[in-house]
Structure 1
């Protein structure tokens, strides 16, 4: 059960919101904790074991780290144990049915490692580690209420694929979450907009991408390969963007305000700008808890580069266990390092040219994720630079006509146009947004329901 399913939209969400709304504010953290358990158990009851271990590890580990704060050796040992337990669960329980193309499958030499996956493990393990790390660093004191710590660790809106939040961002609200009519209506609208991005945009792009690559890269023309790469990049982006908006909308309905996880990355003129505005919470987590955990050395470019590549590998593992995900993330890190080294030269290039160079580099980076394994990935990369004609290959015009409307929609949604339009409407004396909000929500509900019924509604990428 994920956010983009009929079951969640018409059963879990209204029932849970009813129970949560009727509960007294001081008891809503317990309602969140119970809802998280049900949400996890629906996917696989065995996943409750991992969820409980992560929550208990955060609660007890945080108390031990704080009590041993005068003894750095014992405090550090407790921190290492907490991080190691959560990291082990993240690596071994993120996905069921590892194959030989994944690092774990390749290392163990068998097709299946574990019989089940733990839903949400890629998020609540990071929450558990950050909670203990903040206590270890002295920037946070442990909460004595287990329900608050557990409901943060297993924060329902973040369970599918983030955003990853800090305990300090939710601690005050968790004590007694308040639901207001304004937050509720804004949250519903944001959730429905994210659901539209997932079901009407991302899923359609996914179906189109699978059709384009069904015959293999060997029969693909150069122009078609580049068009397919654009479609794949938008698919990857709107998949995560849609779930991020649904998470923020769901959280707002519950009385929590989460920061945006994406800030128009396709408008950036630098690779660094693109990376810093794409899945912001995950990249910030990697910087704060991996990069900054090592000894700081501002003068050593080699050490800092190694730290960045290590962070990139960790981020790649979060997206998936396949080697492709790690190579994609490391490739992006190498582009960042190259851009940093050439910043004096690049600063002399006109901004319009830098924008084109950045977007082409990002577009090329998607090719690393294009295949299910390295063989198919390299085959697609070869198609991108194939100069000879391919007989019998599908022409780019057929796929361009098939995807034109969808690509234009993606460009509009990925541009600042929607944000600008929203700002202009709010500046009017007559509040158009508030007046039309019920009609927009109803229209999106009907449209998204139709798409969910016709499609599978599942997450295209494993989280």
Structure 2
């Protein structure tokens, strides 16, 4: 599918775009869309680069989701207008009057009702009726809109004075489909006059390649084992293979999503946006709470700043703390999807977080080795709930994880050895790259000749793999 928009800054950008342009780990994106975009972007005068970014992002989205591009544009335009109406004029006689505050609150409520309503309609509607399609990236761009309105209302950010700046913030293609969820205040200056130093461009390119390697060389390969387990049927796998599947899916999801985040942040840095940390060695966590402080950090900070703290956080007593955590994790589950398994997943994670707060969190902090074992058992179990959408299949899988329930019958008791012989090197590689010492070593040596050589090897290995395999979209695209 091509998009018939031609002659943008002298280039026929529409002719090189198709559905695969949305997927960073595709040859079309890496060798057609991205190079042409960067050439156009840097040939354009600085003050017009935000326009190039906005138009390119909309064209890219339209190629993959043509039926929802008008929804994205309408939500963007409406939030821009609401933000302008909430803006306080410092030259007015009473810029902070009670009347002005009431007016701002009305505009804020309108924005929240619209953004939450649109998100809820598609999330719940898609879960209830498969004919209602879920717009790509809606969970991410609506959260950016909500955070923008909240920050403008609270006075933490100035309302955008230019639609091009606001449109670029909401729709920028590096973050549009799967985040990270950047705050407007962090991006405003970079979008007004996008500039990039050679050092920043180099670091962005390095992150892009590392993210590509994590996705193509680790996540996609680990996904083959999970696909094999699904093909066999959950009721027929052995207990060891069920546990191996849970661990494998946990690693696959991590390298898939962190790979995307690194690529998104890297591309952003290549056009002058600031670095955003979205993961911090989550599998080195010592508790479930600690894990979620390290995993998808921009989503966690969003719920903290716009839900948990406004509800009172931990400042209003124990019952209120428990209620606040329940609400946050219920909403986190709903954010990922409207189907029942996501609600169960959110509630389950919330229960462990609450238990750690109330009962055994201090005990975990005193037993380092056991706390790591605890995380590597509990987190994969929660990811199984996340991965298996059918409650019936979920019950069967847990019956195989814990066979004393007597669910299912193993067809091949030695099946785990077959798959370990095929995937042991990938599993060891996945665990190896979860170790903080690996990233510490790389950051220390990344500007040495062998650091550059390593990045080049990762790039060409990933490209070779892409040229010989079907394209696999990122897992978080479905949210």
Same topology, TM > 0.5: yes
What do residues 310-342 of structure 1 show as CA deviations (whole Å, max 9, x unaligned)?
221222233233222222122111101000101
Distance 2:125 2:121 in 1: 8
The match for 1:397 is 417
1:305 corresponds, among 311, 315, 322, to 322
1:172 and 2:189 aligned: yes
Are 2:257 and 2:474, in contact at CA under 8 Å, matched by a contact in 1? no
Distance 1:446 1:313 in 2: 42
Structure 1 segments unaligned to the other structure (5+ residues): 95-102
Which residue does 1:273 correspond to in 2? Answer: 290
Rate the CA distance shift 1:394–1:53 in 2: closer, same or farther, 3 A. Answer: farther
Alignment of 1:321 onto 2:338: yes
State the 1:395 CA deviation. 2.0
Check the 8 A contact 1:196/1:444 in 2, yes or no: yes
Q: 2:143 aligns with which of 97, 112, 126?
A: 126
Match of 1:97 in 2: none
1:354 aligns with 2:368: no
Asked if 1 retains the 8 angstrom alpha-carbon contact of 2:355 and 2:361, the reply is no
1:335 correspondence with 2:364:
no
1:123 and 1:337 map into 2 onto residues whose CA distance is: 26
Q: CA deviation at 1:296?
A: 5.7
Shift in Å, 1:294: 2.6
State the match for 2:441 in structure 1.
Answer: 421
TM-score between the two structures when normalised by the length of structure 1 = 0.90
Equivalent residue runs for 1:30-429 within 5 Å? 30-67=51-88, 70=97, 71=99, 72-93=101-122, 103-104=124-125, 110-113=129-132, 116-295=133-312, 298-343=315-360, 346=363, 349-387=366-404, 390-393=410-413, 395-425=415-445
1:142 shift after superposition: 1.0
Question: Aligned partners of 2:432 and 2:364: how far apart in 1?
Answer: 28
Against the structure 1 CA distance between its residues 17 and 249, is the aligned structure 2 distance closer, same or farther, given a 3 Å change threshold? same
The RMSD of aligned alpha carbons is: 2.1
- C-alpha distance in 2, partners of 1:297/1:5? 45
1:447 equivalent in alignment to 2:467: no
Aligned to 1:100: none
Query: How many Å separate the matches in 1 of 2:314 and 2:456?
Result: 55
Q: Is the 8 A contact 2:126 2:338 kept in 1?
A: no
Other-structure match for 1:98: none
Match of 1:11 in 2: 32
Q: Tell whether 2:472 aligns with 1:457.
A: yes
Q: Give distance in 1, aligned partners of 2:460 and 2:138.
A: 32
Deviations 1:130-178 (A, max 9, x none): 1111011121221211111111111221112111010111111111111
Q: Is the 8 A contact 1:188 1:441 kept in 2?
A: no
- Tell me which of 30, 34, 49 is aligned to 1:28: 49
Moved more, 37-46 or 11-20: 37-46
* 1:398-425 per-position Cα deviation (integer Å, ceiling 9, x unaligned): 1111110000110111111222212442
**TM-score (normalizing by structure 2):** 0.87
Call closer, same or farther: CA 1:93–1:36 in 2, change over 3 Å.
farther
Deviation at 1:38, TM superposition (A): 0.8
